[in-house]
Structure 1
Amino acid sequence: MKWINKSLYELTHDELYDILKLRVEVFVVEQNCPYPEIDGYDQKSFHIFAQDSEGIMAYCRVIPPGVKFQEASIGRVITHERTRRTGIGTEMLQYTLNDIAQRWNHPSVKIEAQAHLQAFYGNCGFKTISDEFLEDGIPHVEMIFHPK
């Protein structure tokens, strides 16, 4: 499988459409959470995804250090329903963490994770650093990744 890694301005129209469609399908429709999906970070971010003939299999965006947090940040982490529980999410995070380390030589990564996904992110090396808080009505926690 090949991971695609592009800035917003490098994405084709079809890639951008497919990314936004999947983000809305999962975060707005599936999770029944109306919120401002277009939040002003996409233009400054890198968009990492894998696709096959059926569309995007997994996606996340990487916000550079100093834009949202002092650290780099990974967000909008999605696996398409048909690829969940296949290991693709873990593979994507490993690829993304390696890319961040190479791109910025900035090893720490901070995320705001849905609270029920703490074990998933924990298995990828993230540590919870906050109490639960509500973000758009969904419990979240802040987590940090420091390489060993």
Structure 2
Amino acid sequence: MTLAWTLQPFATLSVPELYALLQLRSAVFVVEQTCAFQDIDGHDADALHLLGRTETGELAAYARLFPAGRSYPEASIGRVAVAPAFRRHGLGRQLMGEALARCAAQWGPQPIQIGAQLYLRDFYRSFGFEQVGEGYLEDDIPHIYMLRT
């Protein structure tokens, strides 16, 4: 399955696009992971939003990208999510590949830091990320900081 990708600042998102990305994030990070947390955290306005849509226009994958100095000293990628209905098609790999390429296109080659769920460590390692520092709990879910230099 191949997706059509767009990268948009918050101000250019249409109401249906914003609704779809918030719905996807809620389905994955709140409902699926049974984690009550403040997803709408006040940082969306500062992010670039990467949306991967199917040929019918349905949002299947999403991530938000930040320049260096916004979330971490390095550029960062967060809220990485693939809709449950579209899993097992390699879209997580497509999404991360696209996010990394878009970061490089926007801000040039530079380190990227993420806060990753611990169980995804090997997935992110396959993209060149390495764990930095100790693990931590975020909303009772084990996480680690990872850096791609």
Is TM more than 0.5 here?
yes
After TM superposition, the score normalised by the length of structure 2 is 0.93
Which residue of 88, 92, 99 corresponds with 1:89? 92
Q: Could you tell me how far apart the structure 2 residues matched to 1:74 and 1:112 are?
A: 8
Amino acid at match of 2:17: E
Unaligned runs of 5+ in 2: none
After TM superposition, the score normalised by the length of structure 1 is 0.94
Residue 54 of structure 1, CA deviation? 6.6
Q: Which of structure 1's runs of 4+ aligned residues deviate more than 4 A?
A: none
Which residue of 46, 49, 65 corresponds with 1:47? 49
Structure-1 residue corresponding to 2:108 = 105
**Identical positions, percent:** 37
Contact 1:131–1:141, Cα closer than 8 Å, also in 2? yes
Contact 1:28–1:35, Cα closer than 8 Å, also in 2? yes
Residues 1-148 of structure 1: pairs in structure 2 closer than 5 A = 1-52=3-54, 53=56, 55-146=58-149
Residue 137 of structure 1, CA deviation? 0.8
Q: Could you tell me how far apart the structure 2 residues matched to 1:134 and 1:118 are?
A: 15
Residue 55 of structure 1, CA deviation? 2.0
Contact 1:71–1:106, Cα closer than 8 Å, also in 2? no
How many residues align? The count is: 146
Q: Could you tell me how far apart the structure 2 residues matched to 1:66 and 1:30 are?
A: 31
Q: CA deviation digits over 1:86-143, x for unaligned, max 9?
A: 1111111111111111211241100000000001111111111122210011000000
Q: Could you tell me how far apart the structure 2 residues matched to 1:122 and 1:85 are?
A: 19
Unaligned runs of 5+ in 1: none
Matched residue SS, 1:3? strand
Q: CA deviation digits over 1:51-109, x for unaligned, max 9?
A: 12372111000011111111011000000112222111111111111111121124110
What's the Cα RMSD here?
Answer: 1.2
